[in-house]
Structure formats: structure tokens, C-alpha cells
A and B are shown apart, each in its own frame.
Chain A
Amino acid sequence: GENVEQHPSTLSVQEGDSAVIKCTYSDSASNYFPWYKQELGKGPQLIIDIRSNVGEKKDQRIAVTLNKTAKHFSLHITETQPEDSAVYFCAASLINQAGTALIFGKGTTLSVSS
């Protein structure tokens, strides 16, 4: 089955710096790669996703890149702000007619200090 590895487990940056979180996956059949942000006491919130037919996607300060050959994908946050502090999870799945079963990484705790 699918296995997702996520690094680093913790990341501390200064406000305004960039943050990069990297994930690798094992199942070459996976075709959907979302990123979630989870704040303390809340459920995960989808922040960006990418599908296997796309190499890069950007939404304001957030971007995700996908390398299908190497089976890894990364989240890039530019101009970090204190409100970006949270736990970030990557996930991988195979979307088919039956739906989507996400396999999550173990998370990265991002701390942005002002």
C-alpha cells in the first residue's frame, strides 16, 4: 500500500522568510496530492492540492511542486507570517470511481516568529 514520508518534523523560521516542506510517496499509481493545515484544536484545512498531470501549482504565497519520476512533492510558503504557524500535513491518494482514501504524512510543525 501507499506510504508517505514527510520532512522535517519541525521547522522554525523568521517572519518574512520562506518555508519548504518535503514529502515522498511510494505508490506510483497515486494521482492526487493535497496539503492540509491544522491549527490547535481544529480539523485539517485543505490549503492547496495538485494532481499527477501537473508539475506545479501556485496560490498567492503558497506553491506546490510534484516530481512524479522521483515520487516526491513539496510545499513552499513565501513571506511567512505568524498566522502561518500550525501543523502541516501532506497526503497522497489514488482517486478512482470509489472515491479517495488519503494517506497522510506525520506532519510538520511550522513556527513563524516575528
Chain B
Amino acid sequence: ETGVTQSPTHLIKTRGQQVTLRCSSQSGHNTVSWYQQALGQGPQFIFQYYREEENGRGNFPPRFSGLQFPNYSSELNVNALELDDSALYLCASSLGVAGAHTGELFFGEGSRLTVL
């Protein structure tokens, strides 16, 4: 069974640039969530994708956007980067079955973004 994989592991951007982070979900999982974890804090929910549609969003501005592909992999895009966007971005996969959801989220190792 393949776990959640994320790329890149580390990257450095400058303020105003755009970034794309990628995630492959655990085998058999069809739901992907993205979380932002600032240093010394707990992860914060950004959004979740199920069947290629966003079906839940946290308190993040529209410049945070995402996609889910038919193979359930996902991308997180952040436009107009700000210094406060520096954080560990975590992808988590889970299993949703028609009309229900297991609840258990399995996280990847994250992508560490530094904005200068």
C-alpha cells in the first residue's frame, strides 16, 4: 500500500510569486485535504476535494486554490505569495463512500515553503 506522497519537499519563493504543490493520495483513497502548518502551530484546514470538486473550505483567501484529478491526486496553488504564507503544507488523503466518510485522515510529509 502506497502512502501519501508530496512534492516538492522544500522550496523557496519570493513575495508576489506563484507556487504549485502536488500530492498523490494513499492507494484506495478518493478524498484529498490540504492543511497549512505554521511553525509551532497545529495544522489549519485549507480545503478538501472529493470527486474532483471542492467540498469544504477553511478561512483562506481565494488566492489559495486547488484541483483534484481523476486519479485522485491533487494540486494546491497559491498566487501572489506573501511572507506569512511561509509554512509546511500538508496533504491528507481519506476515503469517502457514497453518503458517508470514514473520517480518518492520513498525512504526507509535507512541502516546506519559504517566502522571502
> Is B a genuine binding partner of A?
yes
Using a CB–CB cutoff of 8 Å, the interface residues on chain A facing chain B are 4, 6, 32, 34, 36, 41-46, 49, 51, 89, 91, 93, 95-107
Chain A residue nearest to B43 in the complex (CB): A104
CA separation between A51 and B103, bound complex, in Å? 10
Question: Interface size class for chain B?
Answer: 20 to 34
CA separation between A4 and B42, bound complex, in Å? 10
By secondary structure, the A interface counts as: strand
Contact, CB under 8 Å: B103 / A106: no
Residues of A within 8 A of B109 (CB): 41-43
- Enumerate 5 A-B pairs (CB-CB under 8 Å) in ascending A order: A4-B42, A95-B101, A101-B33, A101-B58, A107-B40
Contact, CB under 8 Å: A34 / B44: no
Contact, CB under 8 Å: B50 / A99: yes
Residues of B within 8 A of A97 (CB): 99-101
CA separation between A34 and B33, bound complex, in Å? 16
Residues of A within 8 A of B4 (CB): 43
CA separation between A60 and B40, bound complex, in Å? 29
CA separation between A93 and B101, bound complex, in Å? 12
Residues of B within 8 A of A43 (CB): 4, 90, 107-110
